[in-house]
Structures are given as structure tokens and as C-alpha cells.
Amino acid sequence: MTTRLIVWRHGNTDWNATHRVQGQTDVPLNDLGRQQAVDAAELLVRLRPTALVASDLSRAADTAAALAALTGLSVTYDERLRERSFGQWQGLTMTKVAVTRPVEYARWVAGADVVGGDVETLDDLGKRVAEGLQDAADLVSPGGTVVVATHGGSARSGIGQLLGWPREQLRTLRALQNCHWAELTHDDERGWQLGSYNVGPFGERPVPPPV
């Protein structure tokens, strides 16, 4: 039997809209983000999820709440699913980071760990998020579907860790758009596999599980 894991990025925030580094700052959804969560939930409910897990930051928790309202499921919160900690970058626009912390910014653009600024390493990020994703998947019986509401950077790194991808391969994945998701499946023979990526209300539509 195959377990399905949906890794869902939260809806839009004012800091997303202004390209400001959120990291683990608890920035709420804006009006657009709340509508995106409702629109996405109307699609995700068709997958008949049996468990719902979210980062405890409000932008992810409130995104999950839109699906909880349609499914009747309660949400389990897990701080391991939080966004990457960006330390001293948090609250700055990326333009400001590039100007005031150019060496750190250059390493970030190159996909290397940022040295300085108290930015969480990619290995630490991937490991903690993957542990949270695996524990979320373990909540459902084989054949079940769990939806996890998380963040863009944490989603990509956690997925890469589950799949065993090297950092160079992970960089080929574009970031999830707001309120879009990735679908992974797991079975005992093949382990974790990536089924689809960047699915959402304005693009590819999800495929319901077989009856």
C-alpha cells in the first residue's frame, strides 16, 4: 500500500509581497493569502486526506485551517516544520540583504551555506523538516493521505532530504508558489518518490486517489 504526503506551502503574506525575509518571524496571511488557502483547500479536499499537520507559525497554521474547515480534521502542529531560520536577515528585504551583507548574499544565491548572520544551515534545515514530514506520514495508515502545511524553503529542503537528493539536484527545483504543493508517495519497495510539484489553484490540478 502507498502512503501519500502532500507538502503544502502557506498562502501569501505582506512580507512575501514586498520580498522581505520572513524566516521564523510569525507573519500572518494577508487577504490574498487567506483567499488562496480557501481556493487550494477546495482542491485538496478531493484527495480525501486522513491527517492534517502544520507548522506552528500562523501563516501555515491558518492555511491548514482552511482545509480543516472542509474536512473536519483537527490540525497537529509541529515546530520542526517552521521556515528556515534566517537570523539577522529576518525583516530585511532581499535587496537590503544584497547591499548590506553582500558576501552572505552571494553564498545564498550560489546555494551554499551562509557563513555569518546566524542563518540556519541547509543540512540542519533539511534534517529537521524531513523528520517532521516523516512523522506526519506515520500518522496515517498505508493507503492514507496526510497534508502538511509548511513554508517554501523548508518544503524544498525537507523534500530533498526525504528523497536523498544531493544539494546540486535539489537546486533544480523551483520554490513552491504560495499555496501550491508537492505530492510524494511512499511504499516499502520504492521508498519515497516525487509524484508532482508546484500543483495549485492556478495550474496543474490534483488527481484523486483510486476508489
| 10 in a known ligand binding site | yes
How far apart are the C-alpha atoms of 10 and 33, rounded to whole Å? 8
| 171 in a known ligand binding site | no
Give 205's DSSP letter.
P
| 30 in a known ligand binding site | no
| 178 in a known ligand binding site | no
| 108 in a known ligand binding site | no
How far apart are the C-alpha atoms of 211 and 152, rounded to whole Å? 31
| 205 in a known ligand binding site | no
Whether the CB-CB separation of 183 and 154 falls below 8 Å is answered with: no
| 59 in a known ligand binding site | yes
The yes-or-no answer on residue 83 being catalytic is yes
| 82 in a known ligand binding site | no
Whether the CB-CB separation of 51 and 141 falls below 8 Å is answered with: no
Summarize the chain as % helix, strand, coil (round to 5). 40, 20, 40
Closest CA to 43 of 194, 195, 184, 204: 204
How far apart are the C-alpha atoms of 118 and 87, rounded to whole Å? 5
- Catalytic-role residue among 19, 42, 79, 83: 83
**Nine cell digits for residue 55:** 507548522
**Nine cell digits for residue 118:** 546566524
The yes-or-no answer on residue 189 being catalytic is no
| 165 in a known ligand binding site | no
Residues annotated as binding site?
Answer: 9-16, 59
- Tell me the catalytic residues: 10, 83
Binding-site members for substrate are 9-16, 59
